[in-house]
Structure 1
């Protein structure tokens, strides 16, 4: 009996010979792709600059210190503009994402053959294009200013909010929907009394979370002329005013930390 048991342990394998072969083949392909990508990435790399990077970092860091705190007086208005871009852009994006989410969900869309694919395309297009690219396009169309930044943030937010919300709509408790339906409620009443109470906490949490993300994204929109503190950052870097860049970096960091705290408190209070 003991000899049979030891023989069984010696022969047992987690994967069959065929599965092991496919696993080794998969790892070989993965390593090959990584090596190829590394070669492509470093094809035009000038290694002299890479080797010299520590010296450049030390030089720029030395120029950035000490910060020019007097420059902070010129940053209050751009910071306020940045907050407005993020807040108004998020609000506009949430308003547009709300109907898109219901049109994209399988259990609430009026047409799975036509309407739902269009809604999913809107979500995919919004999520595929970065807010900086949206801002670049809108600045070319609308001209530089806060409006381009607000619309860019809104267009970027539609896909994020709508995707998470339509997934929540599809996962609602069907028992509650069936109970409201059995009372003879209309489709609008079913949405109001059976679907909305279940997805509203998710919708609020997602919207606040997106606002927190948009605070970060709106800080760089000024680099393409969409207003906000990014415009001051571009101006300071253009004239090599590194002490001012330090102040801008610290103010952005402080703004992000405060927005993180505010969003966490809001989610805790509302959800």
Structure 2
């Protein structure tokens, strides 16, 4: 007499294998632990949170109505901010393009030069624009020059790194064809790489200009010129109606810059 057949139980389907499930669980556990430690470290005082809505209402009450007479000096400072952002972006592109050519491994097959360019990218991105502004204010004194240089040196890492990655993603076919035809290095860069990276270049430049307008708006808080000077003056004097004017102008110009960048990208890309 044969033994009865043994039917296995229902199979349980898992989306991820066991090692990956354990890794995900460890990550979630670490994230929760980090959140708990952070909340205990920053020492949130509950008493300050209870009257926060009342304090916010009082602050907005002091801002209304905005001081219309402060609009003219605010717009003058805004023009300076736009100049800082634009000149800083152009200066950053001038310095970032050679570094991008050095950092792209397919353009410059030298590990030492690649590492030098990557170090410049990391150094630029690791220092905040306000810190750059403080450094240049200490060297050149307060004013828009310090703000322009701060924006430029902060932008080198962003634009250079993205442009170098675009160069590394260029198709090898046109490059090899130009090389086989005996084209020199300038011709290879101009006719082989540039047509492929041109859309990315303009997109990076426009995006960075948009970011620089926002960053240059606060550089005046450390004396680097622009509309931040008007904001800092109003804050120090506790003229909240003037603060409202400056904040409204900053918000408006940021929205307009986003619209302009979107329109231009749609036209040229």
Q: Is the TM value for this pair above 0.5?
A: yes
How big is each residue's C-alpha offset from its partner over 1:48-79, in whole Å with a ceiling of 9 and x where there is no partner? 22222111111111100111112112222101
**Residues of 2 paired with 1:168 and 1:22: CA distance?**
33
- Quote the residue 1:123 is aligned against: 121
Deviation at residue 17 of structure 1 after TM alignment: 5.2
CA distance 1:66–1:27, change in 2 (3 Å): same
Residue 211 of structure 1: SS of its match in structure 2? helix
- Quote the residue 2:234 is aligned against: 236
Q: How large is the Cα RMSD of the aligned pairs?
A: 1.9
CA distance 1:59–1:99, change in 2 (3 Å): same
**Residues of 1 paired with 2:83 and 2:20: CA distance?**
56
CA distance 1:182–1:16, change in 2 (3 Å): closer
- Quote the residue 1:168 is aligned against: 166
How big is each residue's C-alpha offset from its partner over 1:227-251, in whole Å with a ceiling of 9 and x where there is no partner? 1110010100111101111111111
**Residues of 2 paired with 1:254 and 1:26: CA distance?**
41
- Quote the residue 2:59 is aligned against: 60
- Quote the residue 2:148 is aligned against: 150
1:78 and 2:49 matched = no
Aligned length: 265
**Residues of 2 paired with 1:97 and 1:195: CA distance?**
16
Deviation at residue 110 of structure 1 after TM alignment: 5.1
After alignment, is 81-90 or 250-259 more displaced? Answer: 250-259
- Quote the residue 1:247 is aligned against: 245
Residue 31 of structure 1: SS of its match in structure 2? helix
- Quote the residue 2:221 is aligned against: 223
After alignment, is 23-32 or 138-147 more displaced? Answer: 23-32
- Quote the residue 1:96 is aligned against: 95
- Quote the residue 1:209 is aligned against: 207
Structure 2 portions without partners, runs of 5+: 1-5
Deviation at residue 257 of structure 1 after TM alignment: 1.4
- Quote the residue 2:34 is aligned against: 33
Deviation at residue 252 of structure 1 after TM alignment: 0.8
Deviation at residue 216 of structure 1 after TM alignment: 0.6
**Residues of 2 paired with 1:25 and 1:73: CA distance?**
56
How big is each residue's C-alpha offset from its partner over 1:203-258, in whole Å with a ceiling of 9 and x where there is no partner? 11110111111111110000000011100101001111011111111111111111
How big is each residue's C-alpha offset from its partner over 1:90-129, in whole Å with a ceiling of 9 and x where there is no partner? 11011111101010000112522x1111100000111111
Deviation at residue 13 of structure 1 after TM alignment: 4.1
TM-score scaled by length of structure 2? 0.92
CA distance 1:243–1:115, change in 2 (3 Å): same
